[in-house]
Structure 1
Amino acid sequence: MTGITAKQSLGNSKYSWRVVDIVVAALIAVAGGVIFWAWSQGAAAVSPPMNAVYPPLTGLIAGGWMIPAVLGMLIIRKPGAALFCETVAATGELIMGSQYGASVLFSGFVQGLGAEIIFAVFVYKKFNLPVSLLAGAAAGLFCGLNDSFAPWGWNIAYAAGDKLAYIIFTAISGAVIAGGLSWLATRGLARTGVLSSFASRKAAAEPVFS
């Protein structure tokens, strides 16, 4: 009986959040809030020429707003990490002053949810490049849907074809920027040894595709 209890406790601890998980997730989220704010300033500068060419192209720069979701999960590897990091990061952007107002909170939530769903599908056991790309793409997909169909969506007036193009572009951006760069960043951090307290400590040696 004691052996069974110990095994159950060990199994549960794999998905239970520790204090260090919460602290690091919060740090990732805070850093993400700064990234969000800076990315918004950059987006404001590059959006006008993109709009002049073809407005839906702005979806290609959306991936920066999804980095905390994928990066947080790749490092913490616990249920809820993507949703937590992305939502708290959005809160941080709002506090610093977001041009998108309070709607940024819902955007953060749905983007985090998109990434979270992918990791949940793989039962929080797969963190390779394909899964990371899928998580980023899902976050981008949810971002595109939110921007295109929510009452506060900034491109809600787009024609159906333009909305579809925008959603595709946000999914691509999420996959490449949030999925790909976060995966590379996690491997780089693992090599430095700073992830020694996490399951991601061996990320640099993990297979790319399996």
Structure 2
Amino acid sequence: MFLAFPPSSGLVAGMWLFPAVLGALLIRRPGAALFTELVAAAVSALLGSQFGLTVLASGLVQGIGAELVFLLFLYRRFTLPVALLAGAAAGVACGLNEAFLFAWFPEYTLAWKWLYVGFTGISGIVIAGLLSWLATRALAATGALAALPSRGAHREPAGRG
């Protein structure tokens, strides 16, 4: 699919955004999304990412995208809608960074660049937002989060909290 329509490669970007949303949902403290995304980016760089040290700048931008959403809710709401919004924000930040700031796709038309941003946003919603929220609930149900503020996440309503 990516060869047939290259901007659709943004649909897999959510896997790189996952640490930011998951970290914030688990830790529930200011800076958690940014910190966890930067740690993930640093590990990626240390393991020899094909993008070199630019992966750290990407981690910063993506982490800020998610962090701003949790800040918007004053770090008091960790519901499914907030997780989805954080994933979307991280995805859009990722897409804007890659398509326009880093200009990694010089062969893309302007329309394709905006489609790529849209695809990264969708990926952020599904992979980073939804899957992080489900993972948090599943981990909480096992008792693995007993020492964290998210320990009761499996009992929280999806839309309130």
Q: Does 1:163 align with 2:113?
A: yes
Q: Aligned residue for 2:59?
A: 108
- SS of the aligned residue for 2:75 comes to coil
Distance 1:164 1:128 in 2: 28
Q: How far 1:198 sits from its partner (Å)?
A: 1.5
* Residue 77 (str. 1) matches residue 34 (str. 2): no
Superposition deviation, residue 153 in structure 1 = 3.2
Which of these residues, 75, 98, 101, is aligned with residue 124 of structure 1?
75
1:182 aligned to which of 129, 132, 136: 132
Residue aligning to 1:133: 84
Residue 33 of structure 1 corresponds to none
SS in 1 for 2:43: helix
Letter in 2 for 1:178: A
How far apart, CA to CA, are the structure 1 residues paired with 2:106 and 2:88? 21
Output the amino acid matched with 2:53. A
Q: Report the Cα offset of residue 158 of structure 1.
A: 1.8
**What does 1:1-210 align with in structure 2 at a 5 Å threshold?**
49-50=1-2, 52-150=3-101, 152-210=102-160
- Alpha-carbon separation, structure 1, partners of 2:23 and 2:106: 30
- TM-score normalised according to structure 2 size: 0.97
Q: Which amino acid in structure 2 is aligned with residue 168 of structure 1? A: G
Q: Using the alignment, how far apart are the partners of 1:106 and 1:156 within structure 2?
A: 19
Return the offset for 1:149: 1.0
Number of aligned residue pairs: give it. 160
Structure 1 unaligned segments of length 5 or more: list them: 1-48
Greater gyration radius: 1
C-alpha RMSD of the superposition:
0.9
Partner of 1:46: none
Q: Displacement, 1:194?
A: 1.3
One-letter identity of the residue aligned with 2:58: S
Seq. identity, % = 56
Deviation at 1:159?
1.2
Relative CO higher for 1 or 2, CA cutoff 8 Å, sep ≥ 6?
Answer: 2
The letter for the 2-side match of 1:135 is A
| 1:21-71 deviation line (CA, Å, top 9, x unaligned) | xxxxxxxxxxxxxxxxxxxxxxxxxxxx51x21110000010000111000
Q: For the residues of structure 2 that align with 1:54 and 1:107, how far apart are their CA atoms?
A: 23
| Matched position secondary structure for 1:53 | coil
- Separation in structure 1 between the aligned mates of residue 103 and residue 70 of structure 2, nearest angstrom: 26
Alpha-carbon separation, structure 1, partners of 2:144 and 2:122:
30
- Normalised TM-score (structure 1): 0.74
1:128 deviation in Å?
Answer: 0.6
CA distance in 1, matches of 2:23, 2:110: 34
